[in-house]
Amino acid sequence: MTSESVTDRLFEEADALYGMALAEFTPARDARAKELKAGDAELAQRVKALRKPSTAAWVVNLLVRREAEQVGQVLAVGAALREAQANLAGDELRALTRQRRQLTAAVTARARAVAADLGLKVTSAVSDQVEATLTAAILDEDCAQAVRSGLLVAPLSATGVGDVDTSVRRRRSRRPSGSPPPRARPSPPRGPSCTSYPTPRRSGRRGPRPRPASRRRRRS
C-alpha cells in the first residue's frame, strides 16, 4: 500500500474517531487499532498514535460538525478582518473587530448548548478556551484551517497555540458553508502564531499529507 493510500485511510479512521463522544475516543481508537493490526500494521500504529482531544478541542470539533454555518460565519469574518488589516482600512477594521467579539461570544454559547445536548457540561474555563480558539481562527489563517478540519486535539490561542493533530491532514479541509475557499498555498506567518496547517497541494476531498508530529511555530 502506498503512503498516500495509508494517508487516505488514516483520515477516514481519524475523522470517525474525532466525531465520537469524548469518553468513547480512547477505547474506540484502541479497539480499531487492534482490528487493523492483522491487515495493516502501519495504519494500525498510526491510528493507535492518534491523540485524544482536550475537552475544549472536542467542543470545537463538535461545533464544526454540528454547526457548520456558524463556524463558516466566524471564518468569513476572520478573512474580512485580515484583509481589512492588510489594507489598513481603519473604520472597517473597527467594525469587524466589534462583530468578531459579538460573533465569537454567540458561537461559544451555542457550542456550550450543543455539548450539553450530548451530556457534557462545559465549564467556564473550557468555554474561555473555545472562545480563544475561535478568536485564533479569525486572526490567523493557519488557525482557521486547523479549526475547519475538525481534528483539533488542543485549543488554540491568538498569541501561541496548543497542538493540532498533524498526524492526520485532509487534502481539503472541512469547509463550512459561508467560509472562504482555501488558498492554493499557505501564507507566510504573520501576526499571531499558530501551528502550521497547510492548504491543499492538489484538488480532492481531503487535506494535505500528514506530518509525523505537531510543531509550534515560534516568533522570530
Write out the chain's pLDDT in tens, 220 residues: 566 677 888 999 999 999 999 999 999 999 999 999 999 999 999 999 999 999 999 999 999 999 999 999 999 988 988 888 777 777 887 888 888 888 999 999 999 999 999 889 999 999 999 999 999 999 899 999 999 999 999 999 875 334 444 345 444 455 444 443 343 333 333 344 454 322 223 233 333 333 333 334 444 4
Q: Hey, what's the torsion of the CAs at 90, 93, 98, 102, to 10 degrees?
A: 180
Contact 110, 131 (CB under 8 A): no
- Measured CA angle at 131 (ends 127, 135), to 5 deg: 170
Query: How far is residue 29's CA from residue 38's CA, in Å, rounded to a whole number?
Result: 15
Cβ-count burial 67-90 (b if 16+ within 10 Å, e if not): bbebbbbbbbbbebbbebbeeeee
Contact 134, 99 (CB under 8 A): no
* pLDDT (0 to 100) of residue 200: 28
What 8-state DSSP symbol labels residue 212? S
pTM for this entry: 0.70
Q: How many CA atoms lie within 13 A of 116 on its CB side?
A: 10
* pLDDT (0 to 100) of residue 190: 39
Reading the block at residue 47, the C-alpha cell is: 491510528
* pLDDT (0 to 100) of residue 185: 34
* pLDDT (0 to 100) of residue 87: 79
Contact 208, 183 (CB under 8 A): no
* pLDDT (0 to 100) of residue 7: 84
* pLDDT (0 to 100) of residue 42: 93
